[in-house]
Structure 1
Amino acid sequence: MLTFAAGPSKVYESVPKYLQDAYSEGILSANHRSDQFMRLYQEAESLMKEKLHMPDDYKLLFTSSATENWEIISQSIVESASFHIYSGSFGAKWIKFAQHINPKSAGQKIAANEEIDVPELSIPEDYDLIAITQNETSNASQVPMAKLEEIRDKFPEKLIAVDTTSSMAGIELKFELADFWYASVQKCFGLPAGLGLLILSPSAIEKAESKGESGRYNSLSFMLENARGYQTHYTPNVLGIYLLNRVLKDMPEIQHFDQALRERMKKLEDCIIGTKSLRLLVDNATTRSTTVLGVAGLEETIKKVKSAALDQGFQLGSGYGPLKPTSFRIANFPAITDQEMDGLMDFLVAY
Structure 2
Amino acid sequence: MINFYPGPSKVYPDVRNYLVDAYDEGFLSTPHRGDQFVQLSRELVGLIKRRLNIPQDYYIFFASSATECWEILVQSLTKNKSYHIYNGSFGEKWLQYAQKLRPKSEGYAFDLNSPMPVHELQVSPDTELICFTQNETSNGTQVTPTCILNLHNRFRDTLIAVDATSSMAGLNLKMIKADIWFASVQKCFGLPAGLAVMACSPRAIFRAKQMGERAHYNSMVSMYEKMLNYQTTHTPNVLNLYLMKRVLEERPFIKTIDGELTARAQDLYAFFAQFTDIQLLVENEEVRSKTVLALQGSEKVVDELKKRALHHNIRLGNGYGPWSRNTFRIANFPAILDEEYEELKRFFLHYYA
SS at match of 1:67: helix
The alpha-carbon deviation at position 57 of structure 1 amounts to 0.4
The alpha-carbon deviation at position 335 of structure 1 amounts to 0.4
Instruction: Give the match for residue 25 of structure 1.
Output: 25
Instruction: Look up the equivalent residue of 1:196 and give its one-letter code.
Output: A
User: Would the aligned equivalents of 2:108 and 2:121 in 1 still touch at CA under 8 Å?
Assistant: no
Whole-Å separation in 1 of the counterparts to 2:244 and 2:146: 28
Aligned-pair identity in percent equals: 48
Instruction: Give the match for residue 201 of structure 1.
Output: 201
Instruction: Give the match for residue 36 of structure 1.
Output: 36
The alpha-carbon deviation at position 324 of structure 1 amounts to 1.3
Instruction: Give the match for residue 90 of structure 2.
Output: 90
SS at match of 1:274: coil
Report 1:230-241 matches (<5 A).
230-241=230-241
Report 1:258-297 matches (<5 A).
258-297=258-297
The alpha-carbon deviation at position 315 of structure 1 amounts to 0.4
2:299 equivalent to 1:299: yes
Whole-Å separation in 2 of the counterparts to 1:98 and 1:121: 19
Instruction: Look up the equivalent residue of 2:179 and give its one-letter code.
Output: D
Whole-Å separation in 1 of the counterparts to 2:322 and 2:132: 21
SS at match of 1:266: helix
The alpha-carbon deviation at position 153 of structure 1 amounts to 0.4
Instruction: Give the match for residue 179 of structure 1.
Output: 179
The alpha-carbon deviation at position 116 of structure 1 amounts to 1.5
Whole-Å separation in 2 of the counterparts to 1:127 and 1:288: 29
User: Would the aligned equivalents of 2:110 and 2:117 in 1 still touch at CA under 8 Å?
Assistant: no
Whole-Å separation in 1 of the counterparts to 2:280 and 2:348: 13
Q: What is the CA deviation profile of residues 291-310 of structure 1, one whole-angstrom value per residue up to 9, with x for unaligned ones?
A: 00001011111111111101
Instruction: Look up the equivalent residue of 2:172 and give its one-letter code.
Output: E
The alpha-carbon deviation at position 218 of structure 1 amounts to 1.2
The alpha-carbon deviation at position 348 of structure 1 amounts to 1.8
User: Would the aligned equivalents of 1:271 and 1:348 in 2 still touch at CA under 8 Å?
Assistant: no
User: Would the aligned equivalents of 1:129 and 1:158 in 2 still touch at CA under 8 Å?
Assistant: yes
The alpha-carbon deviation at position 120 of structure 1 amounts to 2.6
The alpha-carbon deviation at position 276 of structure 1 amounts to 2.3
Q: What is the CA deviation profile of residues 127-147 of structure 1, one whole-angstrom value per residue up to 9, with x for unaligned ones?
A: 121001101101111101221
Q: What is the CA deviation profile of residues 272-330 of structure 1, one whole-angstrom value per residue up to 9, with x for unaligned ones?
A: 10112111011111111010000101111111111110111100000002211101000
Query: Scaled by the length of structure 2, what TM-score is found?
Result: 0.98
Instruction: Look up the equivalent residue of 1:143 and give its one-letter code.
Output: V
Whole-Å separation in 1 of the counterparts to 2:63 and 2:16: 23
Instruction: Look up the equivalent residue of 1:174 and give its one-letter code.
Output: K
The alpha-carbon deviation at position 119 of structure 1 amounts to 2.3
Instruction: Give the match for residue 250 of structure 2.
Output: 250
The alpha-carbon deviation at position 122 of structure 1 amounts to 2.2
Whole-Å separation in 2 of the counterparts to 1:96 and 1:324: 20
Q: What is the CA deviation profile of residues 15-54 of structure 1, one whole-angstrom value per residue up to 9, with x for unaligned ones?
A: 1011111111111111100111111111111001111011
The alpha-carbon deviation at position 67 of structure 1 amounts to 0.3
Whole-Å separation in 2 of the counterparts to 1:98 and 1:303: 34
The alpha-carbon deviation at position 346 of structure 1 amounts to 1.7
Structure 1 alignment gaps of length 5 or more? none
Bigger Cα displacement from structure 2, 114-123 vs 183-192: 114-123
Whole-Å separation in 2 of the counterparts to 1:30 and 1:286: 47
Report 1:1-351 matches (<5 A).
1-349=1-349, 350-351=351-352
Q: What is the CA deviation profile of residues 81-101 of structure 1, one whole-angstrom value per residue up to 9, with x for unaligned ones?
A: 111000111111100100111
Whole-Å separation in 1 of the counterparts to 2:333 and 2:152: 28
Whole-Å separation in 1 of the counterparts to 2:145 and 2:21: 37
The alpha-carbon deviation at position 4 of structure 1 amounts to 0.5
Instruction: Look up the equivalent residue of 2:98 and give its one-letter code.
Output: A
User: Would the aligned equivalents of 1:138 and 1:319 in 2 still touch at CA under 8 Å?
Assistant: yes
Whole-Å separation in 2 of the counterparts to 1:333 and 1:293: 11
Instruction: Look up the equivalent residue of 1:42 and give its one-letter code.
Output: R
Whole-Å separation in 2 of the counterparts to 1:38 and 1:266: 42
Structure 2 alignment gaps of length 5 or more? none
Aligned residues: 351
User: Would the aligned equivalents of 1:129 and 1:161 in 2 still touch at CA under 8 Å?
Assistant: yes
Whole-Å separation in 1 of the counterparts to 2:332 and 2:89: 20
Instruction: Look up the equivalent residue of 1:168 and give its one-letter code.
Output: M
